[in-house]
Amino acid sequence: MARTGAQAQPRRRSSRGKREDILAVATTLFGRDGYEDSKWADVAAAVGIGSTALYHYFESKLHCLYVIMAEALATYLQNFERITKESADYPTAIVALLRHEYDLNEQEVLRNRLLVAEQALVGVHRTSPREEEARQLARSRTRELEFAWATFLARAMEQGVIPEAEPRLLTRAVLGLHNSVWHWYRPGGTIPLDQVSDFYVPRCLAVLGLPPELAEKASDD
């Protein structure tokens, strides 16, 4: 698969279009090469603008990172709400949520790698107002996602679908198991993502106290 935004000469874009280009290229470079090892100037070069022009859109490389994280988490929340509303029951919704976490394209995988690898930066206060605003947004959306999962699991417990447990701890156990994938998974590696899904989803179900076979049944349906 071709690298996002790496070779082609971009056409003239609107200000918003250029901002999206920068975010896409930064996600690719940060996720593939690591945030610390990626140069802000390389993002500008790949987008086809001068380094100083980047500051029209983002105050710094870190500001850009926080925006990537905040927007990614917003997408997660939207998908969570959609799946839980569309699903017929709690078991179906749980499997659908877990499966969806691995139904990703290469860019989304790199974004996940970035989210997990740089999560600690969300907890560090910034003196720059723009950086701090973006950091706070990413932090609040992280908490929103955890709260959404915990609330959903608490309701599943009330319905007797899963065993009683502390919802916040159970949420972190499930999300922690899922997030561990992005520490080692590489797009185009020797293990395809659908195989990763087939391995991890039943184990997440087991953590929730549900039969792992539920994942296979849902796939058959």
| 160-168 own/partner pairs: CB under 8 Å, 24+ apart | 161/89, 161/90, 161/91, 161/94, 161/210, 162/90, 162/94, 162/208, 162/209, 162/210, 163/209, 165/209
pLDDT digit string, tens, across residues 13-26: 566 789 999 999 99
| 1-57 CATH fold | Arc Repressor Mutant, subunit A (1.10.10)
The fold for domain 62-220 equals Tetracycline Repressor; domain 2 (1.10.357)
Residue 103 pLDDT exceeds 50: yes
pLDDT-derived band of residue 9, with 50, 70 and 90 as boundaries? very low
Residues counted in the chain: 221
Of the pLDDT bands very low, low, confident and very high (cuts 50, 70, 90), residue 53 is very high
User: Residue 121's pLDDT is what?
Assistant: 96
List the one residue out of 19, 10, 4, 18 whose CA is nearest residue 48.
10
Q: Where are the domains of the chain?
A: 1-57, 62-220
Token pair 């179900």 in the structure block, residue: 205
